[in-house]
């Protein structure tokens, strides 16, 4: 009898994390040897030190309230960015003049440094609003670009067929447009989720809303608590991966009802 399927998946997934943890342990050991055991935690802490810091933080209510506060801000920005990007994609594909007017501005947003936008938005709004605005601005071009290409790739013969059979707009969107756009929607949203999370936390580091993951990361750097800095960073990375996976799973299951 073979191993259970979950166990096989676990055994398949373990080697890569184990390898990189080993590399981290070795590098921390070499740093420790180089400084003679004096101050290595300020340069590269051991994985065990980071794990102890993370478990200590996870046992407090402040840790979870901080995560929920950042998650709420960034989720609002993600939703607004996806909605705006989708609407602009439809508008720029339908109207030639809208494409000429709006496309350059969207490309400028995509090309401009995130830090510049953070500082500008901080001047115009309150610090608690900045992460949501930045997340939306970073997500919008990604969604717009993917959906614009998806709309352009819809088979015109299928649209002509829908007109011949006098499909309503809703039926055309449900039976033709959404199935055709499905891979573009999945790609854009899975990419947008990770981008919104990273840019939102970066905005929090600069504008320090209370409470937030970015604020905690900034303070650990300020007080040279490097194990805790690594622990907060690990929490951000794990949350980003979990949210992206959750979003991809939900979108894949939802997309099965689109009929293609």
CATH value at residue 186? 1.10.3720.10
Domain range for residue 162? 45-258
> Could you tell me if residue 143 is inside a domain?
yes
Phi-psi region of 151 (alpha: psi -120 to 50; beta: other; left: phi over 0): alpha
pLDDT means per 10 residues, the chain with 260 residues, are 63 82 91 76 88 92 92 92 92 88 89 87 88 93 90 79 76 76 83 88 91 92 89 90 79 58
Question: In residues, how long is the chain?
Answer: 260
> Could you tell me if residue 80 is inside a domain?
yes
Largest Cα–Cα distance in the chain?
Answer: 80
> Could you tell me if residue 3 is inside a domain?
no
> Could you tell me if residue 242 is inside a domain?
yes
pTM of the model: 0.83
Total count of domains within the chain: 1
> Could you tell me if residue 15 is inside a domain?
no
| Residue where the block lists tokens 């180089």 | 34
> Could you tell me if residue 87 is inside a domain?
yes
160 CB burial (10 A radius; 0-12, 13-18, 19+): exposed
> Could you tell me if residue 134 is inside a domain?
yes
What is the rounded CA–CA span in Å between residue 175 and residue 179? Answer: 7
Instruction: Give me the pLDDT at residue 259, please.
Output: 47
Strand intervals (E) in 157-211 = none
> Could you tell me if residue 10 is inside a domain?
no
């Amino acid at each position: 009898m073979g191993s259970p399927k979950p166990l096989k998946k676990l055994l398949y997934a373990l080697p890569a994390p184990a390898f990189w943890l080993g590399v981290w342990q070795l590098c921390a050991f070499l740093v420790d040897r180089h400084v003679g055991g004096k101050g290595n935690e300020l340069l590269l802490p051991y994985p065990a030190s980071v794990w102890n810091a993370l478990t200590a933080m996870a046992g407090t209510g402040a840790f979870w309230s901080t995560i929920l506060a950042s998650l709420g801000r960034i989720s609002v920005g993600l939703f607004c960015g996806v909605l705006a990007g989708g609407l602009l994609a439809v508008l720029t594909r339908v109207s030639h003049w809208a494409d000429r007017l709006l496309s350059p501005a969207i490309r400028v947003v995509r090309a401009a440094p995130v830090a510049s936008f953070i500082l500008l938005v901080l001047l115009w709004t309150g610090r608690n609003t900045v992460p949501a605005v930045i997340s939306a601005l970073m997500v919008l071009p990604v969604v717009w670009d993917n959906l614009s290409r998806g709309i352009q790739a819809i088979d015109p013969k299928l649209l002509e067929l829908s007109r011949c059979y006098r499909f309503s707009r809703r039926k055309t969107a449900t039976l033709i447009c959404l199935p055709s756009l499905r891979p573009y929607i999945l790609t854009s949203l899975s990419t947008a989720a990770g981008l919104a999370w990273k840019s939102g936390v970066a905005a929090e580091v600069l504008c320090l809303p209370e409470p937030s993951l970015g604020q905690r990361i900034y303070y650990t750097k300020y007080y040279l608590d490097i194990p805790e800095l690594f622990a907060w960073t690990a929490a951000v990375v794990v949350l980003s991966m979990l949210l992206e996976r959750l979003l991809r799973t939900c979108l894949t299951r939802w997309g099965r009802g689109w009929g293609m």
